[in-house]
Amino acid sequence: MPGATETEFGAVSGMDKTEMFQKTASSRSVAEAGYQGMLKGKLDVVSGLTTAQKMMMAMIPIMPKRAILKQVRKMQEVSA
């Protein structure tokens, strides 16, 4: 379950101009994290997130959905 990753997806989708894609993880680091997680028997591996994104993910269970959706939308809007 990677965050924004250095691939052609960002440019093709237009997401490369959003806040979410300003700091991307290398495809190698995402693949290595997934591989290491698989070796440890993990079903879900989260990788390539910024510190702010990690904090947001940790708070999701206690935050109102409306606030979460507002933040996600902001991250996906094209930067001016």
pLDDT of residue 80: 62
The pLDDT tens digits for 20-74 are 888 899 999 999 999 999 999 999 999 988 888 888 888 999 999 999 899 889 8
Model pTM score: 0.71
Q: What 3 state SS string does the chain have? A: CECCECCCHHHHHCHHHEHHHCCCECHHHHHHHHHHHHHCCCCCCCECCCHHHHHHHHHHHHCCHHHHHHHHHHHHCECC
Per-domain residue ranges of the chain: 9-76
